[in-house]
């Protein structure tokens, strides 16, 4: 049996976590007061519950409405840096040793900041957070473009401009239905010419066509969620499993799936943890990684996500080691930095625990 202390201490790797989805409720209350933003609840505890309940809607569109309040309080450099620093410290306290944290710079311009000022504010916050965290952690930025907007090329260029300043990749997020990845093909083609990395939210609220486009048209390095790849897998009555062409491609090419179990329950992408496709995909040895998506909206942490999976599927330390190494292999930092964390942090901890 794994103890809760062991689970917290286990080195974890997080590839899919939204900066504007992980604020501390108490920080939201303070920042809202400073700028006069009206919140649905003014008590931090009640506000935290409000986020989880409101996000628990069964629809991605309604889930996304809760971000109006977090984005509203992240419009000046000091607030953004504070949120970024607290995020890194909270992740480190949860045993995360490497994190790629994403947000959409275009959503933080309403009080007059430039895109560059937003990225710099996050960078300063991450540096402060890494320097002040209770355990060592490496935190990097992913810049997201909103898929219903038309700024993806600009954000892709921003991610390349800051590639040596803490930004390791690009992403698109927001409502999936009606906004296919190919809408942003020019941005993805630009990133490929620049030898840059990107992930795409695909196969969460929409099915296989979105995953197919993300990989075969846009050239995504990884898939955000990707749960609907399960629609291309048939389980026969005799227990045998057949992979369709797309599922086989994703597995053969070792395309990382950034799976976020609790988030998927809230948006209706899965019924329960026990029914979540992560169970079968892990058994079939897809390149599965475990992630939080939005810690505030799901009331979760990496430790909690792993504990839920342990309960549902009987996973133990050997499985958590596999998830951590899968994720670190799939990270967007250079290969030598990935190896340093795998060989210097993850493997030694698990070797000591597993014997
Ligand atoms: O799970 C998600 N799917 C699609 N979009 C999402 C998800 N979680 C957060 N977002 C959106 C809302 C945020 O404001 C934005 C940038 O982090 O990304
Ligand atoms: Zn997400």
Give the containing element (helix H, strand E) for 157: helix 152-161
Question: Ligand 1 centre from 320 Cα, in Å?
Answer: 25
Question: Ligand 1 centre from 105 Cα, in Å?
Answer: 12
Note the ligand closest to the C-alpha atom of 291. 2
What sign for the dihedral angle of Cα 315, 321, 325, 331?
positive
- Checking if the pLDDT of 288 tops 90, the result is yes
DSSP 199: E
Say how many C-beta atoms besides its own lie within 10 A of residue 59's C-beta.
13
Going from the N-terminus, what domains does the chain have, and what CATH number goes with each? 4-354 (3.20.20.140)
Q: Report the C-alpha gap between 198 and 256 in whole angstroms.
A: 12
Nearest to 119 by CA among 150, 148, 92, 157: 157
Nearest to 221 by CA among 168, 276, 263, 267: 168
Residue pointed to by tokens 């690009």: 170
Chain segment 108-140, per-residue pLDDT in tens:
999 999 999 999 999 999 999 999 999 999 999
- Checking if the pLDDT of 1 tops 90, the result is no
18 is in an annotated binding site: yes
Mutation choice for ligand 1 from 55, 56, 63, 67, CB with most ligand atoms inside 8 A: 67
Question: Ligand 2 centre from 212 Cα, in Å?
Answer: 18
With contact defined as beta carbons under 8 Å apart, do 263 and 293 qualify? Answer: yes
Nearest residue by C-alpha to atom 14 in ligand 1: 67
Q: Report the C-alpha gap between 228 and 209 in whole angstroms.
A: 10
Residue 99 contacts by C-beta under 8 Å, 6 or more apart in sequence? 13, 14, 15, 17, 88, 91, 137, 138, 139, 140
Chain segment 324-347, per-residue pLDDT in tens:
999 999 999 999 999 999 999 999
Instruction: Quickly state the pLDDT bin for 2 (edges 50, 70, 90).
Output: confident
Question: Ligand 1 centre from 42 Cα, in Å?
Answer: 24
Q: Report the C-alpha gap between 162 and 77 in whole angstroms.
A: 17
- In the chain, what percentage of residues exceed pLDDT 90? 95
Q: Report the C-alpha gap between 217 and 194 in whole angstroms.
A: 17
221 is in an annotated binding site: no
φ/ψ bin of 138: left (φ > 0), alpha (ψ from -120 to 50), beta (otherwise): beta
Chain segment 175-222, per-residue pLDDT in tens:
988 999 999 999 999 999 999 999 999 999 899 999 999 999 999 999
Provide the mean pLDDT of the chain: 97
293 is in an annotated binding site: yes
End-to-end Cα separation, the chain, in angstroms: 15
Mutation choice for ligand 1 from 67, 118, 145, 173, CB with most ligand atoms inside 8 A: 173
**What is the per-residue pLDDT for 57?**
87
Closest ligand 1 atom to the C-alpha of 204?
3
Note the ligand closest to the C-alpha atom of 102. 1
Specify whether 30 is catalytic: no
Question: Ligand 2 centre from 90 Cα, in Å?
Answer: 18
**What is the per-residue pLDDT for 175?**
92
Closest ligand 1 atom to the C-alpha of 260?
1
Note the ligand closest to the C-alpha atom of 223. 2
- Checking if the pLDDT of 274 tops 90, the result is yes
Residues with CB under 5 A from ligand 2 (ion): 293
Instruction: Identify the residues whose C-beta falls under 6 Å from ligand 1.
Output: 18, 20-21, 60, 64, 67, 71, 102-104, 107, 144, 173-174, 201, 204, 263, 293-294
Confidence (pTM): 0.98
Note the ligand closest to the C-alpha atom of 60. 1
Question: Ligand 2 centre from 138 Cα, in Å?
Answer: 20
Counting beta carbons within 10 angstroms of the beta carbon of residue 322, is it exposed (0 to 12), middle (13 to 18) or buried (19 or more)?
A: middle
Instruction: Quickly state the pLDDT bin for 241 (edges 50, 70, 90).
Output: very high
φ/ψ bin of 133: left (φ > 0), alpha (ψ from -120 to 50), beta (otherwise): beta
> Which of 204, 242, 337, 353 does the annotation list as catalytic?
204
Q: Report the C-alpha gap between 333 and 23 in whole angstroms.
A: 25
- Checking if the pLDDT of 144 tops 90, the result is yes
């Amino acid at each position: 049996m794994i103890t809760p202390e062991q689970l917290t201490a286990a080195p974890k790797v997080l590839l899919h976590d939204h900066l504007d989805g992980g604020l501390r409720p108490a920080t939201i209350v303070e920042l809202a007061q400073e700028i006069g933003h009206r919140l649905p609840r003014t008590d931090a505890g009640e506000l935290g519950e409000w986020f989880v309940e409101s996000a628990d809607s069964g629809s991605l569109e309604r889930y996304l409405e809760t971000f109006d309040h977090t984005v509203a309080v992240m419009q000046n450099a000091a607030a953004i840096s504070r949120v970024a620093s607290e995020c890194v410290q909270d992740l480190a306290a949860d045993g995360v040793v490497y994190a790629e944290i994403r947000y959409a710079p275009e959503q933080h311009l309403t009080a007059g900041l430039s895109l560059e000022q937003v990225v710099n504010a996050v960078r300063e916050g991450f540096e402060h957070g890494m320097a002040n965290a209770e355990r060592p952690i490496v935190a990097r930025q992913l810049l997201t473009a909103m898929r219903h907007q038309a700024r993806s090329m600009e954000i892709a260029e921003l991610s390349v401009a800051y590639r040596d300043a803490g930004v390791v990749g690009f992403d698109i997020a927001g409502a999936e239905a009606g906004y296919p990845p190919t809408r942003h093909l020019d941005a993805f083609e630009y990133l490929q010419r620049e030898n840059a990395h990107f992930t795409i939210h695909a196969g969460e609220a929409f099915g296989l066509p979105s995953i197919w486009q993300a990989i075969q048209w846009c050239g995504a390095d990884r898939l955000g969620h990707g749960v609907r790849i399960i629609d291309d897998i048939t389980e026969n009555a005799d227990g045998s499993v057949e992979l369709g062409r797309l599922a086989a491609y994703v597995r053969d090419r070792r395309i990382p799936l950034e799976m976020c179990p609790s988030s998927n329950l809230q948006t209706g992408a899965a019924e329960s943890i026990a029914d979540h496709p992560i169970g079968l995909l892990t058994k079939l040895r897809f390149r599965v990684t475990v992630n939080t998506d939005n810690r505030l909206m799901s009331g979760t942490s990496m430790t909690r996500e792993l504990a839920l999976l342990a309960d549902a599927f009987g996973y133990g330390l050997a499985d958590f080691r596999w998830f951590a190494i899968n994720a670190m292999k799939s990270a967007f930092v250079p290969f030598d930095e990935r190896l340093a964390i795998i060989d210097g942090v993850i493997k030694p901890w698990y070797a000591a625990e597993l014997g």
